Amino acid sequence: MNNFYTIGMAAQLSGLTDLSIRTWENRYQAVKPKRSSGNQRLYSDEDVKRLSILAKGVKTGLRISTLVQMTNKEIEESIQKKLDRYENNYIHLAHKALKNLELNQLNELFESASIEMGVIQAMDEVIFPFMNQLGEHWNKGELNIYQEHLASETVNSFLNNQLRSYQSSKQNPIALIATLPGQVHNLGAAASAVTAAIAGFHTLNLGYELPSEELIKITKKSHAAVLGISIVFPGNTSLVRKELEVLHKKTPDHCRLILGGCSSRAFNTKQVFHESRDLQHFKEILLDFRNVITNGPEKNDLYRNKKE
């Protein structure tokens, strides 16, 4: 039996935004949803699958105008070829540079990847996989402590430079990025800060392990439009849930609370928080929200905090 979904549900399932789906549908006929008796768009399982595959293709650096002319199988094959090339080239060379303690070369590889595929995709497809592989090597006892520290410092330096490069005026909407107590891994937060800056927000990376009450204080003081919380590992789940409950209740209405990171979904089972699937999705959410700010918040309920 074929299920049908509203555009909001299709967006959540595919990792896109409502605006992206409408744009692809109107400009490229990416999908052709049915219409309800009230003229509401209804997307089938096949539509959602198609949108998900198109989203993956765009994230990999392929053009949507090209992708819509391809079958799902052809898109998946093109994606895999690109990922294999990143794996064989950039990531392989990054491991080699670290092994030889060529940190300048490691940074240059990140720079080259950013130029070739864009900063966000470079973070998603090169830097994150590289660091994840280092974590696997660490667990197997194949990595020295100094190597992990050098890699982390090089990545953090690269991300900080990117943040400074893309940082916008204080007159722009403000985005705050942080992790909660017990969340000591700052890579996801640093990458999210870069993404927010690319999306045109004046971005402050507050670092890791900030209590919810402190986040509420700076959100109010700065009049921030966005508070992004990175949750990479479950950690102390009861503590994280407690901190999120405080943020859920006390985040000011002018600020949109967005969760991200590979463990964020475990803390959003009731869908009370806005959630980004990856950095590209985070960017799309932020761009949509900037559009809402520009056109007036009364015109769109999508980014209101879910207080009910």
What is the location of CATH 1.10.1240.10 in the chain? 72-163
Whether the Cβ atoms of residue 216 and residue 250 lie closer than 8 Å to each other: yes
Long-range contacts of 28-34 (CB under 8 A, 24+ apart): 28/64, 28/65, 28/68, 29/68, 30/54, 30/64, 30/68, 33/7, 34/4
pTM tops 0.85: no
**Which region among 241-245, 274-278, 304-308 has the lowest average model confidence (pLDDT)?**
304-308
Between 304 and 88, where is the model more confident? 88
Task: Looking at the chain, list the stretches that DSSP marks H as alpha helix, in order from N- to C-terminal side.
Answer: 7-14, 18-28, 45-59, 64-67, 72-86, 92-99, 103-117, 119-122, 128-139, 145-166, 187-198, 212-222, 237-250, 279-295
Q: 176: which strand partners?
A: 204, 227
Start-end of CATH 3.40.50.280 domains in the chain: 170-299
pLDDT on residue 215: 96
pLDDT band at 81, cuts 50/70/90?
confident
Which band of pLDDT confidence, cut at 50, 70 and 90, is reported for residue 302?
A: very low
Given a contact cutoff of 8 angstroms between Cβ atoms, the answer to whether 223 and 169 are in contact is: no
Burial class (CB in 10 A: 0-12, 13-18, 19+), 301: exposed
> Which of 3.20.20.70, 1.10.1240.10, 3.20.10.10, 2.40.280.10 is the CATH number of 72-163?
1.10.1240.10
Cβ neighbours of residue 107 closer than 8 Å, sequence gap 6 or more? 154, 157, 158
Once rounded to an integer, what is the mean pLDDT over residues 155-177? 94
Closest CA to 31 of 17, 12, 50: 50
Burial 57-68 (b: 16+ CB within 10 A, else e): bbbbbbebeebb
Check whether 307 has a pLDDT greater than 70: no
Q: Mean pLDDT over residues 172-194, rounded?
A: 92
Residue 31 CB coordination number (10 Å): 21
The mean pLDDT value for 280-298 works out to 78
Q: Are 72 and 53 in contact (CB under 8 A)?
A: yes
Q: What is the mean pLDDT of residues 236-250?
A: 90
Judged against a pLDDT cut of 70, whether residue 270 lies above it is answered with no
Options 3.40.50.2000, 3.40.50.280, 3.40.50.1100, 3.30.870.10; CATH for 170-299 is 3.40.50.280
What's at 287, amino acid-wise?
L
**CATH 1.10.1660.10 residue ranges for the chain:** 4-67
Contact 197, 159 (CB under 8 A): no
Supply 196's token pair.
């927010």
Q: Determine contact, residues 177/192, Cβ cutoff 8 Å.
A: yes
Nearby residues of 21 by Cβ (< 8 Å), 6 or more positions away:
7, 10, 11, 14, 30, 31, 51
* Confidence band for 308, pLDDT divided at 50, 70 and 90: very low
Handedness of CA 52, 193, 176, 265 (dihedral sign): positive
% of residues, the chain, pLDDT over 70: 93
Mean pLDDT (the chain, rounded):
87
CATH class assigned to 4-67: mainly alpha
Lowest mean pLDDT among 62-66, 105-109, 127-131, 146-150: 62-66
* 54 touches 30 (CB < 8 A): yes
Helix axes 45-59, 18-28, angle to 10 degrees: 90
